[in-house]
A and B are shown apart, each in its own frame.
Chain A
Amino acid sequence: MAFIEVNNLTHIYGKGTEQEFCALKDVSFTIEEGEFVAILGANGSGKSTLARHLNGLLQPTEGECMINGLDTKKPEDIWAIRRQVGMVFQNPDNQLIAGVVEDDVAFGPENLGMEPEKIRQQVTEALRAVGMEEFRKFAPHLLSGGQKQRAAIAGALAMDTRCLILDESTAMLDPQGRREVMGTVEHLHEERGLTLICITHFMEEAAKADKILVMEKGQLVQQGRPQEIFADAPRLHKLGLDVPLAVELAWNLRKDGLSLPQDILRNDDLVAALEACYVH
């Protein structure tokens, strides 16, 4: 049994009304514990709707969504699911609830009814994990965007989350904030085996994933390793998506007749391949 199993998931907003809108159609995939998965797709392709099924914020109209053996449709399982699957949203300003960082990180554990002593431990540990101990007593509006998002990650960690969903969590950040947040979650992924699901428009972030899911108009149109997904650059452009620069350059040079390996993904790969090519 995989950690996340989505089977024939369909979601219709406002079913039976005039505004009926099918946001997800017959989507199926699995995610293993400890995997790093990126979800790509243009705005309106259903990425966020999909993400919100994974912690039971939305329930499938048809099909099912199983998290670690728990069914998101069962009301009695929902809290156990949300505890295991944490979510960091796009706008850093709209997800911190308390007026002080440590109180905010404590919000989740408090909702779960943990003992005060245990909460203090969880908060300290979570803030340390994201490198935010020194901002413990800060008010959120005095933090940078990247720091706010790291506080939000700590809020999930304090609930002992096993899987973190980043729903375009870096979209509103400057490059430094983006590096901070991605650095933090990658570290957690590597050190603790945290399952990572990353919805993003930044292809360099997606290139680091183990697996990429591509969404279009509510359907899962492709899934595979980044090398496989990015191999067909024109197709991704057609879907309104980018490819990493190294992939784009390699694709163009290959088209011009230069023989380069197929699995070029990062700048390192491209530089190495071109070097090898030049020597010959």
Chain B
Amino acid sequence: MSIELKDVTYVYMPKTPYERVALDKVNLTIEEGSFTAIAGHTGSGKSTLVQHLNGLLVPSAGEVLVDGVNLLGKDKAAKIKAWHARQQVGMVFQYAETQLFEETVEKDIAFGPQNQGLDEAEVQERVREAMELVGLSYKDYKDVSPFALSGGQMRRVAIAGVLAMRPKYLVLDEPAAGLDPRGREELMSTIQKLHKKWNLTIVFVSHSMEDIARLADNLLVMQAGKLRAAGTTAEIFADAQLLQETGLEPPQIMQIMQRLQKAGLPVDSSAITPEAGLQSLREVFHVK
């Protein structure tokens, strides 16, 4: 099972003076169970790409398959199948807290499952489950107004609103943007938990190479509407030329390790997380 993009092209505002090819023949596969990050400059097509994954945008050419089902159903039966396939892909937008609108946290999170046509008991169960997943106690927060919460909490309510629909794939567009270090840290470990413990397939758009190095297994690099590179996170970060050409900065730790290596220290220059870097430094300096 997977999400597959086949030759997907998307033309923005076709036949107007503003016409622009936002995606250009993109082919890629996101395997179930994987953690895939998408990196690239602002305007490289990342957001346009992820909006294809649950059918919010319809490709101008090519097709999107979720678990083998084309998201663009032709006849009635295919349309119903496509609708179910789209439900498999949850989408968390940048600054997701801006989508909150209900009086209480519980009502807001219930919006998605209710739209799915579930009965009340099932909806409540989904809300409870989703809140626990993002680390908000159901008992304490269900009757609170979402607008009385802190920025980090609001964002987690918004994510819970998507999780309550029990998607198999979860797409997160810059989920930590604008949070303070503590909020960031909490959110990152929540996402890690969703992947490791609950086996959610994660697609993660980020500008932070640190976060990508820490969380993702695979990395897709977008440039000017094209999929420039795809591979494991370690592979991509090891390709200095690629990073330079796409304007991405390797993780800080990697920069430090590479400079040390250049200076003649036998350190592991492929370390992409601070933990791995520290471990290598300890070995080199024979401490601990």
Contacts and interface: CB of A to CB of B under 8 A. Distances in A.
A and B touch in the complex (CB under 8 A): yes
Given A253-B287, A257-B287, A278-B265, A43 B183 contact: yes
A221 to B, nearest CB: 16
A277 B183 contact: no
A246 B182 CA distance: 19
Interface string B267-288: 0000000100110011011011
Contact of B42 (A43, A90, A176, A258): A176
Interface stretch (A24-32, A79-87, A120-128, A266-274): A266-274
Contacts of B180: 42-43, 201, 240
B252 A245 contact: yes
B263 A271 contact: yes
A270 B263 CA distance: 13
B288 A256 contact: yes
Interface in B167-185: 177-183
Interface string A202-235: 0000000000000000000000000000000000
Interface stretch (B7-15, B63-71, B139-147, B253-261): B253-261
B150 interface: yes
Interface string B195-234: 0000000000001100000000000000000000000000
Contact of B181 (A44, A145, A242): A242
A267 B255 contact: yes
Nearest to A240: B182
B151 interface: yes
A175 to B, nearest CB: 5
A144 B265 contact: no
Interface in B227-257: 247, 249, 252-253, 255-256
Nearest to A257: B287
A252 B181 contact: no
A245 B278 CA distance: 11
A253 B282 contact: yes
Contacts of A256: 282, 287-288
A246 B181 contact: no
A57 interface: no
B41 interface: yes
A253 B285 contact: yes
A174 interface: yes
B253 A245 contact: yes
A100 interface: no
Contact of B265 (A90, A201, A242, A274): A274
Given A253-B282, A274-B281, A275-B263, A246 B287 contact: no
A249 B281 contact: yes
Contact of A267 (B252, B281, B284, B285): B252
A258 B287 contact: yes
Contacts of B260: 271, 274-275
11 contacts: A42-B181, A174-B207, A175-B249, A176-B41, A245-B252, A249-B253, A249-B277, A274-B265, A275-B265, A278-B264, A278-B265
Interface of A: 42-44, 90, 144-145, 171-172, 174-177, 201, 240-242, 245-246, 248-249, 252-253, 256-258, 267, 270-271, 274-275, 277-278
Nearest 8 pairs between A and B by C-beta?
Answer: A240-B182, A256-B287, A242-B181, A43-B180, A256-B288, A245-B252, A174-B207, A271-B259
